[in-house]
Structure 1
Amino acid sequence: MGSSISASAKKRGRPATTGTGHTIGVRMLPEQLRPLDAWIADQPDPKPTRTVAIRKAVDDWLTAQGYVQHREDPEGAN
């Protein structure tokens, strides 16, 4: 009985983070999720996740409000 069966250990816990950003937990109501999910369904494959969709929505809103410069407008005219 010199050999033993090696079983792969299952990784447990949270997955590794993918960036240096901050996690913000947000509770959303069904009437907020329905239009978000509809927007996701209208996107081409691969569909964005809810996280990516929310990140894009916040970025678009902040840009429209003037807090973030338009990517096409590096001089800040808009």
Structure 2
Amino acid sequence: MTDATEKMQPQKRGRPAIGKGTPVQVRLQPDLLAWVDAERAKVKPEPTRPEMIRHILEKVKGQK
């Protein structure tokens, strides 16, 4: 007989996958990161940094 703990799957960490996007890691200089954080502070509820960067990219994409 199997133990109940053997059947348990470890819980995944981080944000749940919502699509088939490609993860991208970006290094930002302190002045640009401070600007992103200042823009985040203007939005309620305050989004995470990745959410804010996605929002900014979608906004710029829509302008072209």
The TM-score normalised by the length of structure 2 is 0.70
Identity, in percent, stands at 25
The gaps in structure 2 that reach 5 residues or longer are: none
Match of 1:24 in 2: 24
Amino acid at match of 1:55: R
**Max Rg structure:** 1
Query: Which consecutive residues of structure 1, in runs of 5 or more, have no partner in the other structure?
Result: 1-5, 67-78
The structure with higher relative contact order (CA 8 Å, sep 6+) is 2
Query: Is 1:48 paired with 2:40?
Result: no
TM-align CA RMSD: 2.3
Give the alignment's TM-score, normalised by structure 1.
0.59
- Which of the pair is proportionally richer in helix? 2
